[in-house]
Structures are given as C-alpha cells and as structure tokens.
C-alpha cells in the first residue's frame, strides 16, 4: 500500500527529506518524529514537514493505490484543474511523463512515485535547492543540506567549494562545502540511479508587446498568491518591487522596512504605505544584523553567504504569519547581471543605453559578487590556480560554459549565470523557516517573459513602464536613490553628489555593514586567534565565519576551517 501517513508531535519546521529505499532504511538515517507526514512507496520514502500543509497553493500530498506525489513549497496547477496541485501533478505525470513538470507553476520541490519508480524535480530556476548524497543506506535527498550531510559516515570539506565560497560568497555549479554532497542540477530530474536534464529554462527571444505583457503577467502572478493567512506582511524597500505588491495585493496589511524612521528609504516607504492605505513599521538596525549564530548561518545551506539575510536580527518584529517580498524580480525583469556599454567621463565610467557587445564576463561577475582576492594571494588552500586572477578566470569560465547550451547569445548566457547563482537566496530561506513566504518571481509566466524577451528590453525602463500600466500613480514618490526614470541620469547624479561639496550622497537602501562590523568589534569576537585576518574586508571575514560556523555544525571530524585559510598577502 502506498502513502502511509504519519502525524508527528514535533515543533513546526519546513523540510523535505527522502531516501531511495524502504521505510526501515529511512529510519536508520532519520527519526520519523522529525516529520509531519511520511510517504512510503516501493522505491522511495519521503518525510515532509510544513505548517502550511493544506493551505491552497502551499505544500500538498496525494496518495493512491498507484503511487504518491508530494509538492513541497508554493505551487499552482493550471487554472482549470480541480483538486490539489499534488493530485493534478500525479495524474498529469501518468499521462505525459516528465513533461508534466513544464506545466506546474511556482517555487517547489516535487517527488512522484509511479510504477515503482521515483523522480525528484525542483522548479525551473532551482529557487528551492535539493541536496543529494550517496549514503550507505542509499541515495538521499532533501531541502536541508545539513540533514543530507549527516547521512554520510565521514563527511569532509570540499576545498574547491570552500575556495569559491570565501572568494565569491557563493559556491558555483552544483557543489557545496562538503565533499559528496551536491545540489540537484539546475532544471533537472533526479532518479534513483540517474539524473536527466530538462528544457524548461531555455532562451527563445521573440518580438512582442514586452511592456503590456509584463504588466498583465505581474498582476496574475501576484493574484495567484493571494488568500494566504492574514495578516499579510511585506519586507519593504522604497524600490520598484515593493510598489508592485502595494499596488496589486489586496491581502497586504503591514509593511516592514529595515532602518531608522528618518532614513530616506524608510521615510519614502512610509509615504508609499500612506498612499496605498497600509500600515508601516520600521525595524531598527542593531548589532544583531550581523548575527552569526549556527541556527542563522545554517539556513544558508553551505552554498551562500548569510549577509543576504537582510532582515537578520529583526525576527521578533516581523509578526505577520504571511510574508511577501520582491526577491529575484530584479534578476529576471531588470537583468541585474547584464552589462551595459560604458563611456569614460572625468575618470569615471558611466553606463550607456545599450548592452556591451563584448563584455568581460569574469570582470562583470567579479564586481557583482564582490570577488575577494585582489591583494595577490588566494586565501584557501585547494587544487587549481594559485593567483586570484587565474582562479577568477577559471571558475567563472567553467560556470559560464554551463550556461551557453541554454542561451543563444552571450548576454542571455550571462543572465542565466546570474539566475543560477542567486546569491541572495538565504533571504527567503530564512523567512520561510518562520512564515508562509511567497516568491512571486518564480511564477512561470514571469519566467517565460524573461526567456522570450530580448535582453535589450529587460531593463529599468521596461519594468517602470509596466508598473505604470498597473497604476499610473505608482511613482508619485520616487525611490530616494533613483530620483529619475533614466538609469543613466541616476548614475550621473550619484557621481555628481559624491564629487560636489555640499551635496549629500544618495543613501543606500541597506544598513552600513562595515560600520556595524567595526562598531561591534567583531574582529575581536569572531577572530580573536587570527589577527592576521583582521586586514581583510568585513564581507570577506563574514564569509570565512559563515563557512567555519556552518561546517562546524555538520562535521564531526574536528576539521577546522582556520587550518585551510591562509594569511592574506
């Protein structure tokens, strides 16, 4: 019989964990009491935890005599489908096979067992990671990398992964910080003994009504995610993405902005909330903004730096059960990673209103990821080039090559590389641990817009025009660091403000990380025995601390990251 169900008495958590094998082998790896539901089949056993099980659009389970299906996360079936998304996906998989995953919408990890064979698939952009390892009990997979690591008898550090993490803040490709634990590849399906690449995320640019189509799709994407438990909250800046939710989401009750009440960002956010009749709360910035406790760092899953948990230290102030945000919309709709052509003015380079025809890919991503290592020596001992320049070129070229097969141009390959990296993903991973969290950017209609719109139209101008079609008054209060509609004018004013005495520079939307690090004497607290590291930038030191805290929480062999970190210079 398929789909035996277990109701546990554990505290609420969110996790999917599976093992290719029977329940007795699963129980040698994980305790059943750790999960809310257990699904067992002929070839796979899956444990599921999620307080949102049963809420429409959230984690759903389906069991029958033919097999079972679990869709964990946030997912929607086609609008004319009846029943749960898990029931629809199971039936559709029986009819068309692996192509069924091209028709489901959302941010999810799905597991189906049918006819004695099980398959695991993430959404097209891998917005929820699925980690995989070959344990002595069988192949295991799950959304918590630490749990997957602990299924191995003697896990060890992946030094190449550690080198990438320290120098880029993200592990490239499918690696993690632990040897033998990998991520399910981008846009792929995992079986017991093989992995198959899918073709859901492949560029196919066309000429359409880019602005009007984007506006319509944005409204539908937000509407799909309405109806979650009230009150609904939003982590808010004064930027474009927050305005989208303010103008379209009826279920939005309260907005949270990190900063001080008189900060330009918080003040503009408050005016926007008044414009749309929403409550606004400012979350104060404290030393907890750089909280490095294991329970915080663990949510990075050993592949991304925790600095991107922008609301860190403010959890107590975020009381709404449902939280919305605009994460990844800039990567998909404004193409944060695409290079603009530039012109030199007064020893400063300014972007032009066109793409760079011959971009330096390594240099572009080195700046976007804040590559550490420009002072002559790499910090981590590992195989490969010993110079920062050599390592940068090799690592970025290898990742870029993985993107070329899904792209028809160098620009779309760069866009895909940014989508694959997603350095800011811990932002939503942390939120989802305590709230019903929604990722609007993962909507399949928006992904399709990204894939079919030529890169020269995926920019600030198109996005702003689409938002104005949704609400003509949406920019009555401009973002404080972008007072002009033109990206070029904003960059020019930014430069002039820095150059001209008496003019205040634009304030940044986020707290001053370096100042918080310095004022709270984190060198002494985090690196009391490594004064040789104190000369590094705060961001690099926080990456090193993330790595050693995360690895220290999952490894039992006494490995010290400090043993692998060289002195700089």
State the CATH number of the domain containing residue 466: 3.40.50.620
pLDDT in tens, 215-267: 999 999 999 999 999 999 999 999 999 999 999 999 999 999 999 888 999 99
Residue that is last in its domain, among 197, 230, 252: 197
pLDDT in tens, 80-115: 778 899 999 999 999 999 999 999 999 999 999 999
Q: Is the pLDDT of residue 10 over 60?
A: no
For residue 471 the two structure tokens come to: 């609400």
Q: Is residue 171 part of a domain?
A: no
233 lies in the same domain as 108: no
Contact (CB, 8 A) for 172 and 46: no
Q: Is residue 298 part of a domain?
A: yes
What local confidence, expressed as pLDDT, does residue 81 receive?
A: 79
> Once rounded to an integer, what is the mean pLDDT over residues 295-308?
91
- The residue length of the chain stands at 569
Q: Is residue 468 part of a domain?
A: yes
Residue that is last in its domain, among 165, 197, 229: 197
Domain with residue 135: its CATH number is 3.60.20.10
Q: Is residue 118 part of a domain?
A: yes
Distance CA 488, CA 189 (A): 42
Cross-strand bridge partners of residue 349:
344
Distance CA 56, CA 75 (A): 9
What local confidence, expressed as pLDDT, does residue 404 receive?
A: 96
Q: Is the pLDDT of residue 7 over 50?
A: no
150 lies in the same domain as 271: no
Q: Is residue 170 part of a domain?
A: no
Q: Is the pLDDT of residue 77 over 70?
A: yes
What local confidence, expressed as pLDDT, does residue 8 receive?
A: 44
130 lies in the same domain as 257: no
Distance CA 167, CA 4 (A): 46
Task: Give the range among 5-19, 40-54, 322-336, 457-471 with minimum mean pLDDT.
Answer: 5-19
142 lies in the same domain as 214: no
The 10 Å Cβ neighbour count of residue 54 is 11
> Once rounded to an integer, what is the mean pLDDT over residues 183-188?
98
What local confidence, expressed as pLDDT, does residue 1 receive?
A: 40
483 lies in the same domain as 346: yes
Q: Which position has the higher pLDDT, 9 or 355?
A: 355
Task: Give the range among 148-152, 202-206, 345-349 with minimum mean pLDDT.
Answer: 345-349
pLDDT in tens, 150-185: 999 999 999 999 999 999 999 999 999 999 999 999
For residue 399 the two structure tokens come to: 């990742």
Q: How far is CA 7 from the centre of its chain?
A: 30
What local confidence, expressed as pLDDT, does residue 257 receive?
A: 96
> Once rounded to an integer, what is the mean pLDDT over residues 331-354?
79
Task: Give the range among 18-32, 156-170, 499-513, 533-547 with minimum mean pLDDT.
Answer: 499-513
The 10 Å Cβ neighbour count of residue 367 is 11
SS3 helix, strand, coil % of the chain, rounded to 5? 40, 20, 40
451 lies in the same domain as 530: yes
What local confidence, expressed as pLDDT, does residue 150 receive?
A: 95
Q: At what angle do helices 210-224 and 240-248 cross, to 10 degrees?
A: 60
Q: Is the pLDDT of residue 556 over 80?
A: no
What local confidence, expressed as pLDDT, does residue 519 receive?
A: 94
What local confidence, expressed as pLDDT, does residue 4 receive?
A: 43
Q: Tell me the average pLDDT of the chain.
A: 91
184 lies in the same domain as 296: no
Q: For Cα atoms 454, 109, 545, give the angle at the middle one, nearest 5 degrees.
A: 85
207 lies in the same domain as 236: yes
pLDDT in tens, 12-70: 489 999 999 999 999 999 999 999 999 999 999 999 999 999 899 999 999 999 999 99
Q: Is the pLDDT of residue 203 over 90?
A: yes
> Once rounded to an integer, what is the mean pLDDT over residues 542-556?
92
> Once rounded to an integer, what is the mean pLDDT over residues 395-423?
96
What local confidence, expressed as pLDDT, does residue 353 receive?
A: 76
> Once rounded to an integer, what is the mean pLDDT over residues 384-408?
94
Q: Is the pLDDT of residue 355 over 50?
A: yes
Domain that holds residue 54: 15-156+180-197
Distance CA 442, CA 440 (A): 5
Name the band, by pLDDT with cuts 50, 70 and 90, for residue 198: very high
Total structural domains within the chain: 2
Name the band, by pLDDT with cuts 50, 70 and 90, for residue 374: low
What local confidence, expressed as pLDDT, does residue 498 receive?
A: 72
For residue 437 the two structure tokens come to: 């969290």
pLDDT in tens, 28-37: 999 999 999 9
What local confidence, expressed as pLDDT, does residue 346 receive?
A: 63
Q: Is residue 70 part of a domain?
A: yes
* Helices vs. strands in the chain: H and E counts, helices first: 19, 19
61 lies in the same domain as 185: yes
Name the band, by pLDDT with cuts 50, 70 and 90, for residue 484: confident
Q: Is residue 3 part of a domain?
A: no
189 lies in the same domain as 209: no
What local confidence, expressed as pLDDT, does residue 515 receive?
A: 93
What local confidence, expressed as pLDDT, does residue 559 receive?
A: 64
192 lies in the same domain as 207: no
What local confidence, expressed as pLDDT, does residue 399 receive?
A: 97
339 lies in the same domain as 208: yes
DSSP string, 205-268: ---S-HHHHHHHHHHHHHHHT-SPSSSEEEE--SSHHHHHHHHH-TTEEEEEEES-TTSHHHHH
Q: Is residue 5 part of a domain?
A: no
């Amino acid at each position: 019989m398929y789909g035996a169900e277990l109701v546990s008495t554990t505290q609420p958590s969110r996790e999917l964990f599976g093992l290719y094998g029977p329940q007795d082998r699963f129980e040698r790896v994980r305790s059943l009491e750790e999960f809310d539901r257990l699904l067992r089949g002929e070839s796979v056993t899956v444990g599921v935890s999620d307080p949102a099980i049963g809420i429409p659009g959230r984690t759903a389970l389906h069991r029958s005599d033919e097999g079972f299906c679990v869709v964990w996360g946030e997912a929607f079936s086609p609008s004319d489908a009846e029943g749960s998304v898990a029931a629809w996906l199971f039936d559709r998989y029986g009819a068309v096979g692996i192509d069924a995953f091209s028709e489901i919408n959302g941010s999810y990890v799905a597991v189906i067992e049918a006819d004695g064979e099980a398959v695991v698939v993430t959404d097209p952009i891998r917005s929820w990671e699925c980690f995989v390892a070959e344990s002595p009990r069988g192949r295991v997979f799950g959304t918590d990398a630490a749990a997957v690591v602990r299924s191995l008898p003697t896990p060890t550090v992946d030094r190449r992964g550690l080198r990438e993490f320290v120098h880029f803040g993200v592990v490239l490709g499918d690696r993690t910080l632990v040897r033998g634990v990998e991520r399910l590849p981008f846009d792929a399906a995992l079986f017991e003994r093989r992995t198959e690449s899918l073709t859901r995320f492949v560029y196919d640019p066309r000429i359409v009504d880019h602005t009007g189509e984007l506006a319509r799709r944005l409204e539908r994407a937000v509407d799909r995610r309405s109806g979650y438990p009230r009150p609904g909250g939003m982590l808010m800046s004064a930027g474009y993405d927050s305005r989208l939710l303010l103008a379209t989401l009826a279920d939005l009750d309260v907005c949270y902005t990190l900063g001080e009440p008189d900060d330009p960002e918080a003040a503009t956010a408050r005016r926007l909330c008044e414009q749309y009749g929403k409550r606004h709360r400012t979350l104060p910035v404290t030393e907890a903004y750089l909280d490095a406790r294991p329970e915080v760092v663990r949510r990075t899953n050993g592949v991304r730096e925790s600095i991107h948990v922008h609301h860190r230290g403010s959890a107590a102030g975020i009381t709404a059960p449902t939280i919305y945000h605009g994460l990844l919309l800039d990567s998909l709709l404004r193409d944060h990673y695409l290079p603009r052509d530039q012109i030199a003015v007064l020893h400063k380079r300014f972007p032009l209103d066109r793409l760079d025809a011959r971009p330096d890919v390594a240099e572009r991503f080195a700046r976007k990821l804040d590559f550490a290592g420009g002072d002559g020596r790499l910090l981590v001992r590992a195989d490969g080039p010993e110079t920062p320049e050599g390592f940068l070129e090799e690592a970025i070229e290898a990742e870029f090559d993985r993107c070329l097969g899904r792209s028809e141009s160098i620009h779309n390959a760069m866009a895909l590389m940014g989508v694959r990296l997603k350095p800011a993903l811990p932002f939503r991973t942390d939120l989802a641990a305590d709230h019903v969290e929604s990722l609007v950017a993962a909507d399949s209609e928006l992904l399709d817009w990204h894939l079919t719109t030529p890169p020269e139209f995926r920019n600030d101008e198109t996005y702003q025009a689409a938002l104005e079609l949704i609400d003509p008054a949406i920019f009555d209060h401009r973002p404080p660091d972008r007072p002009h509609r033109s990206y070029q004018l904003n960059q020019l004013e930014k430069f002039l403000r820095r150059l001209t005495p008496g003019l205040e520079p634009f304030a940044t939307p986020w707290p001053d990380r370096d100042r918080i690090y310095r004022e709270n004497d984190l060198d002494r607290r985090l690196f009391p025995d490594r004064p040789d590291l104190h000369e590094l930038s705060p961001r690099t030191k926080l990456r090193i601390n993330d790595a050693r805290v995360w690895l220290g929480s999952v490894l039992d062999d006494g490995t010290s990251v400090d043993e692998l970190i060289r002195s700089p210079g």
